[in-house]
Amino acid sequence: MYAIVESGGKQFRVEPGKVFFTEKIVGKAEGEAVTFDKVIMVKTDDGKTLVGKPYLDNVEITGTIVEHGRARKILVGKFRPRKNYKRIKGHRQWYTAVKIEKIEVK
């Protein structure tokens, strides 16, 4: 069984027992439970596929926050040729690792 969930403006494929990384979830500490209500699609164990228009109302996905952290640094640069102009900035994006506990279809 798996589902496609929208979180942080992006879509993720989630399965029970798996960990996925999403944008930082503000207001939740490590070890707290979190529920996802923007479920786009669910594929059940018996082969049924449920697709929302745009979201499914009868599906509940619960998970536990494993950690909050920051990703690897990326460099963003500006450059103008022949003008002696160069600017480099670094950026580290915050993320939240969530372990999916169960996908429940009501």
> Structural domain tally of the chain?
1
pLDDT at position 19 is 98
Whole-number Å distance between alpha carbons of 65 and 70? 15
Question: pLDDT tens digits, residue range 42-92?
Answer: 999 999 999 999 999 999 999 999 999 999 999 999 999 999 999 999 999
The residues that bridge with 32 in the sheet, in sequence order, are none
Torsion sign across C-alpha atoms 75, 78, 82, 83? negative
Alpha-carbon distance values, 41 to 23, 57, 60, 76, 103 (Å): 20, 11, 12, 35, 11
pTM of the model: 0.85
Output the DSSP codes for 6-55.
Answer: EETTEEEEE-TT-EEEEE--TT--TT-EEEE--EEEEE-TTS-EEEEEEE
Q: Which domain holds residue 10?
A: 2-105
